[in-house]
Amino acid sequence: MTIQLHGAAGTTCTNRVFLVAKELNIPVVLVPVDFATAEHKSEAYLEHQPFGQVPYIVDNANVQQYGGNSGLIPKDPKKLAKFEQAASIEVTDFDPHAGAIMEKVFKAFRGLPADETIVAKHAELLIDKLDAYERILKTSKWLAGGDLTLADLLHLPYGDYLTKGGYGGLLEDEEKRPHVAKKSPISRPTWQAVQNGA
Ligand SMILES: N[C@@H](CCC(=O)N[C@@H](CS)C(=O)NCC(=O)O)C(=O)O
């Protein structure tokens, strides 16, 4: 049975799972969750995702079997440690700031004004963080070393909202952060497919 991805198209967390499924050639079908009616907060939904967040997947097979040899999560202990570090950097140093800027886009969807002071503060903090990314990528092909890992892919959906929020220049500044600008996996066909909803 095809795996069901219960999520909201266009949300970063849904797109992350969608992207990884595509990288691993796993067929998934998107089952839309209606944010407008707060379906993700309904009792029925909370049985699957106790935090009332998207996405969750329904898979009758064993989820662990996927991606085992894909290299997206390295097996070698040293490479695994580097991967854990890179994934942690994404979650703690990138997502909170990109996420705050992303709120601007989501508020605009709902016709609400963004708190520009908060957005500007996080953009400022993000610049510092991206300088650190530049230091990493100056000597490393990808975030966790010589091979592309899940950590590099995790970057894309939030990065996309930086662009949509008018802050894409931070990622594309070839003068200030040439390695960040050049080493993005943004051109991967799988990411293009996710963006096209395919
Ligand atoms: N750890 C969860 C986080 C999921 C998450 O934060 N989802 C957001 C969308 S990107 C959400 O559903 N937000 C709505 C809410 O929290 O009410 C995951 O990675 O799947």
Nearest CA to ligand 1 atom 18: 13
Question: How many angstroms is it from 44 CA to the middle of ligand 1?
Answer: 17
Residue 64 pLDDT exceeds 70: no
Question: How many angstroms is it from 9 CA to the middle of ligand 1?
Answer: 13
Domains within the chain, CATH numbers bracketed? 3-65 (3.40.30.10), 77-188 (1.20.1050.10)
With residue 5 as reference, give the H or E element that holds it.
strand 3-7
Long-range contacts of 165-170 (CB under 8 A, 24+ apart): 165/101, 165/102, 165/104, 165/105, 165/119, 166/104, 167/101, 167/123, 167/126, 170/123, 170/126, 170/127, 170/130
Query: Whole-angstrom Cα distance, residue 129 to residue 81?
Result: 20
Q: Average pLDDT, stretch 34-58?
A: 95
Digit-coded pLDDT (tens) for 127-138: 999 999 999 999
Nearest CA to ligand 1 atom 17: 53
Digit-coded pLDDT (tens) for 162-177: 999 999 999 999 999 9
Query: Whole-angstrom Cα distance, residue 3 to residue 148?
Result: 25
